[in-house]
Structure 1
């Protein structure tokens, strides 16, 4: 039976064609496998967030839906009904199944099932090795958001909008049950009773342990019905690695760059090859989803050469956006672009070299890290925070055309010889053409998980408010010395750094989150104000976040930080604007998230 696209969804049931939808099963898998573990590099971690909607077509409805990791690219035969598309009567419980599932069960098909509304973790079987009842109604016909995390030791799942505590946590070593390479996606089934299982959006990011790792990052931004019959169905998604680009250079790339009156110098490929000793690995400064950065020498001047991966997603668009955006910007807290090169299908950017590299290599360093023994003192950290705030205030308010950075994070903050902060990596940045607009609409959400505002998953828009949210997360990182998703602190950190710090604020112990490596040597009032500012920047309601102009005034001591609630408010969308704003504090930024789309430069 074939699938159909209708009603803004991938419909693979005869709900459209008129055929019966009883006793069906199916799987929807990303077409490329993800390397979960290797003997030399251990086990990968991953995070996935998705929104699903289960709509009963009978009373009661069908069997349920599951997020799965599987070693097989095909669905088991005869896996309809109670088997959830995971196994069948002859294979259930067999290690050959090679499948781990987080099930959202809507039918009490077995005596072992807690109820017809529970979450469970299944290993090679439809019988859950751990399950929990849910207070939220899975079969309500409304959107339900889920976040599943794996840190190499524990599998956790959060259900609902608040996500204050995991609905289920299971210590599990996935390599014991799964092959090195797995497919990720969803399975579902119906029996005599039916329902529609629709995955409306999906984000998956993982730290691959492949020899040449690429960040696996998948977005589905249209509703996807995953009831499949006949054979397994594969989504043709976009990934940060794909087919190699054509070998001939695209003349449109240079044309778009040269349109800018401030385009920097164009280098020849042989110049940058010579500068980096033919991209010698010994000169490597770092890697990312975009490619690799190398240290080089151009006429005895140190530079950092950014080499875009041939497999990076939308590499040309990101390259053009970075050159044309940053060449028009001039601020002491922005990295200076020296020049660019597009030749023989190589995309290269040359930046001024920052001798202290990126912030993440210092702020998250371990005591055992002999290469980075530096512990940044409080004065240096506060200076970095203020420097980034000045850079963002310039981008949002000081330019002729407002710029949204869209990827503010510790690895994109570079430090010069005096540890002054320079904001870099403008590959995702977008210019807003009209000065009275504040957002950029896109079909493909950009950013880094952990730094992304919750409304990004619902609006598909980047905005000044989403930049402000990422800045708030960055401030928390700098003060606490921890990553956004660090889960190493007595399992109290599972919901991310924002929830973790807000909990200490609720208990009136907010200074307890300060990096222990500071050994208590920090300006207490200044630190408390910085943390409260960060939480206000991470407010779930974007209307309640301060502008970067106000954030800067807080950091310079001109105004007190915004008042924030003791309990972190739940995320609700659409967000509700406050009844009134303080004219002195200018909340929210002019224009807001809900203003009409603007004319854009770049992607």
Structure 2
């Protein structure tokens, strides 16, 4: 799109006006969630902190590293104007956030704090009892310049009331005022999410905590209020954020949402003209820009329809078995204009609707316009499935790209997805009554997925890495035959001898991702095998990969860790789904569970290939031998001196820096 010199001038003028306006404005922001669209550049993030699993991880936890004796600090990048005009004018603020503290050891760690600080830098040696607020050198010193509202989960000092209290700290870890939360029925470290509001009216700092009482009623209690003049301890501009720490005992310290609003300080009455003239000027400029944008948008949409559509069609038509292209009106008619009553499920890629095409039932995936890489995933799925043929693959019927709608048409699977039968809920999150799967059907489903993966890894002209094997992507036809679907993250390797696909962004679903994925940012046949192993374990056990999404990023809390512990104790059969009747072959189940654990071996070199997996499932071979104790994850992993399935080894190479999680 070309811009005239007049338009360029208009945009520069608007930027200057907005800059002047921003300099006199207060600080306001709102993050209802910390999902994919949150920009890391809005924050100053110390080591040991991150945004992951839909939350601020003030002290994050990953399976390959210990989180003991660590501290972290997470601050908003723009500073807050706290006072002005020689401390005579003070701002007020209101900050609401949802905290979730979950013990990793018993007892847990120290807790976390909401902070206002002159410096965003994390103090050195501020782990343990220092909560990331101060250290031994700055504790009690005016140079610390920090005020904190602590949510303490450890009685670290004699002055602490208990291991479950709120306190206000000024340049020190010792609280000016504190209040136990036990009498309110609140336990900070039990993994429950609590909404906290911190208010300052330029005279008093007040803390509220929202929770559910024993009668199931929602309560918002004022738990502490302290008269304090923040301008005596803090500079005129401060950073707002959070800090936390662990000692020998550990816990997860998470912030799941965060909003902040503040009042404006008018330091100079002579700047009143700014608030009168600039808004009027901005309105005039915006009107001019809007008129210009409407023109260019209409022209751009026309160019997009004329330009982008053929390119997508060209990429799809290059596949050997190019699927049928449908008109949008045909699929709208088939689904009742995407009637919500026809919705079958919803995922990170899009929403699936039931439809009727002639006398044939179909499933239509409507790619979400909010999907970060919708077009790329659409092309990947259509071109990948469109070029493959296998009995354990969801059958692709066709596609449509029209009026910015990206649609994929599949044969309808009458029994829906596998997770519906394992966990009793559909893809819309509704609980459902479904009959339990027999062991014979479970074994058949596992074998079917294994056959499809062996085909993708070894039976195609070009090796395919699925990258998102999970129960919700396994569809069941009328005979309960497993059909692997959702190839939006799949990648085709141009040469069959290549073993990996490197990415800028880690992709997959937490709980199914091999530990090395977070370090290498590589998809390999071995990472597919790991996800298959997790699937095997959940099919046999009827248990999700982890209890909740925050836990799924932690290898230690996963179904894999649980099964390894039982295996070490010789009690692995205790994990079998209780819904299976007594008429089962324990030797057969033991073999499959052992196979699943072998696929989830922390060392990718020790995982079997899918060809070996099939031999075990068909009883042509014994399951791989496993060590008695759960092996530790070590990287770089050491290859064995000899391995039979050499065609599936991971290629070596330097580590790729850790990037954003791409969970789905």
* Short-chain TM bin: 0.5 to 0.7
Q: TM-score, normalised by structure 2?
A: 0.59
- After superposition, give the CA deviation of every residue in 1:305-353 in whole Å (9 maximum; x if it has no partner): 0000111111111111111111111100000100000000000000001
Q: How does 1:109-508 map to 2 (within 5 A)?
A: 125=148, 127-131=150-154, 169-175=189-195, 248-249=304-305, 250-251=308-309, 252-365=311-424, 371-486=432-547, 495-508=557-570
Tell me if the contact between 1:154 and 1:171 (Cα under 8 Å) persists in the aligned partners. no
Check if 1:525 corresponds to 2:587: yes
SS of aligned partner of 1:406: coil
Mapped to 2, the partners of 1:314 and 1:413 lie a distance apart of: 22
Give the counterpart of 1:593 among 651, 660, 663: 651
Tell me if the contact between 1:154 and 1:170 (Cα under 8 Å) persists in the aligned partners. no
Q: CA deviation at 1:132?
A: 9.6
CA change 1:132–1:437 in 2 (3 A) is farther
CA change 1:46–1:485 in 2 (3 A) is farther
SS of aligned partner of 1:175: strand
SS of aligned partner of 1:340: strand
Mapped to 2, the partners of 1:110 and 1:466 lie a distance apart of: 36
Structure ID, larger Rg:
2
Question: Where does residue 174 of structure 2 map in the other structure?
Answer: none
SS of aligned partner of 2:421: helix
Q: CA deviation at 1:129?
A: 1.2
SS of aligned partner of 1:127: strand
Tell me if the contact between 1:294 and 1:304 (Cα under 8 Å) persists in the aligned partners. yes
Check if 1:543 corresponds to 2:543: no
Tell me if the contact between 1:487 and 1:494 (Cα under 8 Å) persists in the aligned partners. no
SS of aligned partner of 2:648: coil
Mapped to 2, the partners of 1:256 and 1:457 lie a distance apart of: 31
SS of aligned partner of 2:333: helix
SS of aligned partner of 2:356: strand
List runs of 5+ in structure 2 lacking aligned partners: 1-27, 36-52, 62-69, 84-89, 100-110, 114-121, 137-146, 157-184, 198-208, 212-239, 245-253, 259-299, 656-664
Q: TM-score, normalised by structure 1?
A: 0.65
List runs of 5+ in structure 1 lacking aligned partners: 1-28, 37-44, 54-62, 80-89, 118-123, 134-152, 157-168, 190-203, 209-244, 598-603
Q: CA deviation at 1:591?
A: 4.2
Q: CA deviation at 1:383?
A: 0.4
Q: Number of paired residues?
A: 443
Tell me if the contact between 2:465 and 2:525 (Cα under 8 Å) persists in the aligned partners. yes
Tell me if the contact between 1:269 and 1:343 (Cα under 8 Å) persists in the aligned partners. yes
- After superposition, give the CA deviation of every residue in 1:139-169 in whole Å (9 maximum; x if it has no partner): xxxxxxxxxxxxxx9999xxxxxxxxxxxx5
Question: Where does residue 196 of structure 1 map in the other structure?
Answer: none
CA change 1:172–1:373 in 2 (3 A) is closer
SS of aligned partner of 2:364: strand
Aligned-residue CA RMSD (Å): 4.4
Q: CA deviation at 1:67?
A: 5.5
Tell me if the contact between 1:415 and 1:421 (Cα under 8 Å) persists in the aligned partners. yes
Give the counterpart of 1:575 among 634, 637, 646: 637
Higher helix share: 2
Q: CA deviation at 1:502?
A: 0.8
Tell me if the contact between 1:439 and 1:593 (Cα under 8 Å) persists in the aligned partners. yes
Tell me if the contact between 2:58 and 2:73 (Cα under 8 Å) persists in the aligned partners. no
SS of aligned partner of 1:535: helix
Q: CA deviation at 1:493?
A: 11
SS of aligned partner of 2:366: strand
Question: Where does residue 34 of structure 1 map in the other structure?
Answer: 33
- After superposition, give the CA deviation of every residue in 1:502-552 in whole Å (9 maximum; x if it has no partner): 111111000000111114442211111111111111111111111111111
Mapped to 2, the partners of 1:554 and 1:154 lie a distance apart of: 51
CA change 1:564–1:131 in 2 (3 A) is farther
Mapped to 1, the partners of 2:560 and 2:324 lie a distance apart of: 42
